[in-house]
């Protein structure tokens, strides 16, 4: 029988592994998976050591459907012994759905989940299911849509674990709450991806705003940042904007933002997590949301 090879549309962008990783200790590790149509990333963290041990980042090219995404994931997993291993301590999955809503716990009702999302997002119940994540420290619940096919595939991949599914903004929020440094006043925290970004606005330790925007160029990006600044009554002369993710100091986006906001800085890795010297090759401001999945219980 002739086997038709799948077209490989992924490429390894980053791989970092600590020597202390022990394949016999998977039950003590958390496997954290981050999936979108243009990226697949994972990291492995030790709960006992509070330490990140392994990171891999793959770029996906010309993937435009859940079927196409699953085809690439199957090919990648087939060639990756560690990802196909079972008996992890925890398995968490982060998805960047456009449909999400943050609701105070005191007002939240399971029976109204669909109503929360339909106000913002046309929900196809055949393709999507509704999930929820409780931010205990903020006393809010993130209700979001998740692609059924994708969730079922990961559940079948890890049948021994209770797969914890979360929206991409939830690790960002949890990471920001635990980050050391300035906490007074207003701050904007932005995690940048190729064609979208998540933004979290804080007043001290209080969440003021959380949203996700799509963009195609630096003009779009700055337009949405300035929109948030205006909504928040943010002072671009005194308040701080922190950037994480797929952005560099010499990028057009950074240079454009810096023209409008005086205090722009690149964020650091999660201060509550430990990293070995092998991670020195990775920019400190990259993978903050992926690493922060460790804090999502």
Using one digit for the tens of pLDDT, what is the confidence trace for 15-54?
A: 999 999 999 999 999 999 999 999 999 999 999 999 999 9
CB 10 within 8 A of CB 72: yes
Q: What is the pLDDT of residues 187-211, one digit of tens each?
A: 999 999 999 999 999 998 899 999 9
Q: What is the pLDDT of residues 70-105, one digit of tens each?
A: 999 999 999 998 999 989 999 999 999 888 999 999
Look up the pTM and report it.
Answer: 0.94
What SS3 state is found at 184?
coil
Pair of tokens at residue 89: 């301590």
Domains 1-179+269-297 and 180-267 share a fold: yes
215-224 per-position pLDDT tens digit: 999 999 999 9
Helix, strand or coil for residue 252?
Answer: helix
Burial bucket for residue 224 (CB in 10 Å: 0-12, 13-18, 19+)? middle
Confidence of residue 108 (pLDDT cuts 50, 70, 90): very high
**What is the pLDDT confidence band of residue 4, given thresholds at 50, 70 and 90?**
very low
Task: Give me the CATH code for the 180-267 domain, please.
Answer: 3.30.420.260
Burial of residue 121 (CB within 10 Å: 0-12, 13-18, 19+) is middle
> Crossing angle of helices 66-78/148-157, nearest 10°?
20
Cβ contacts of 162-166, under 8 Å, gap ≥ 24? 163/91, 163/92, 163/93, 164/90, 164/91, 164/92, 164/93, 164/296, 165/92, 165/93, 165/95, 165/131, 165/133, 166/92, 166/93, 166/94, 166/95, 166/131, 166/133, 166/142, 166/293, 166/296
**Would you state the structure tokens that stand for residue 230, as one six-digit string?**
């205006």
158 is written with which tokens?
A: 């890890």
Q: What confidence score (pLDDT) does residue 1 get?
A: 37
φ, ψ for residue 26, nearest 5 deg: -60, -30
Domain 1-179+269-297 classified CATH 2.40.100.10? no
Tokens of 226: 């300035």
Under the banding of pLDDT at 50, 70 and 90, the label for residue 183 is low
Phi, psi of 24, deg, nearest 5: -85, 0
Domain ranges of the chain: 1-179+269-297, 180-267
pLDDT of residue 182: 63
Q: For the chain, what percent of residues have pLDDT higher than 90?
A: 82
How many Cβ atoms from other residues are within 10 Å of residue 2's Cβ? Answer: 3
């Amino acid at each position: 029988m002739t086997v038709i090879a799948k077209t490989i549309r992924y490429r390894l962008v980053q791989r970092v592994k600590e020597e202390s990783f022990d394949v016999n200790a998977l039950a003590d590790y958390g496997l954290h998976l981050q999936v979108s149509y243009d990226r697949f990333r994972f990291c492995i963290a030790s709960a006992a050591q509070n330490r990140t041990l392994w990171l891999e980042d793959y770029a996906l090219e010309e993937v435009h459907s859940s079927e196409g995404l699953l085809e690439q994931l199957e090919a990648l997993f087939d060639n990756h012994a560690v990802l196909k291993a079972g008996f992890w301590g925890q398995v968490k999955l982060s998805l960047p759905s456009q449909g999400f809503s943050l609701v105070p716990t005191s007002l939240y009702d399971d029976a109204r989940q669909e109503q929360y999302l339909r106000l913002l997002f046309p929900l196809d119940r055949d393709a999507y299911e509704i999930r929820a994540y409780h931010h205990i420290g903020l006393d809010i619940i993130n209700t979001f849509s998740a692609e059924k096919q994708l969730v079922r595939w990961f559940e079948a991949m890890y049948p021994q674990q209770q797969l914890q599914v979360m929206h991409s903004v939830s690790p960002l929020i949890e990471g920001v709450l635990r980050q050391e440094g300035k906490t007074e006043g207003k701050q904007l925290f932005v995690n940048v991806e190729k064609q979208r970004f998540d933004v979290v606005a804080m007043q001290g330790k209080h969440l003021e705003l959380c949203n996700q925007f799509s963009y195609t160029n630096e003009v779009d990006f700055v337009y949405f940042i300035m929109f948030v600044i205006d909504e928040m009554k943010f002072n671009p002369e005194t308040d701080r904007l922190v950037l994480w993710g797929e952005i560099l100091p010499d990028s057009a986006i950074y240079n454009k933002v810096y023209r409008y906001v005086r205090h722009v800085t690149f964020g650091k890795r999660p201060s509550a997590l430990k990293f070995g010297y092998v991670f020195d090759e990775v920019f400190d401001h990259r993978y903050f949301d992926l690493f922060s999945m460790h804090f999502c219980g």
